[in-house]
Chains A and B, each alone.
Chain A
Amino acid sequence: MLLIHCPYCDETLPEAEFAYAGQAHVLRPQDPSAQTDEQWEEFLFIRENPKGPHFERWRHQHGCGRFFNAVRDTVSDKFLTTYRAGAPRPDLASLTESLT
């Protein structure tokens, strides 16, 4: 069971309190009707699925209920950071540097 830091509660808590919510920074377009089928497919289905640092969303389901973002290494399952929804995408280089 992973330990996850909720950036709203500022507490590190067990995974059982959280729900995974897929890749982060997939923005729903302002005007979906103006999207081509290809663009809508991209929004709905195409995912990065990287082996390594992954920008992803979690929800503190059984806590504050907030959705937030995280960077997690999908090889080690270690969280590099978590941050609030709407905050800018953190710089990956600085995150991985702090690891070593």
Chain B
Amino acid sequence: MSTEEIRAALAEIVNEVAGVDADDVQLDKSFVDDLDVDSLSMVEVVVEAEEKFGVTIPDDQVKNLKTVGDAVAYIERASAAA
């Protein structure tokens, strides 16, 4: 999957879980500060993303995923390693 494909699929998940407009889920956006995704919703996003992309995102990594770009990059790396 391309970076844009991962971003778009992640945007769908963020929309489903937190109601954020998918077009707003851009690489430079902060989940907490820009998109208003709270910590519990973030866990839901991560679990959905794990299933969607076939990767594992350990709980201790979630705090490092501050922006959409961080999450997309993590998923790209984890997919490549898989």
Whether both chains belong to one complex is answered with no
Q: Interface on B for A, CB 8 Å cutoff? A: none
Q: Interface on A for B, CB 8 Å cutoff? A: none
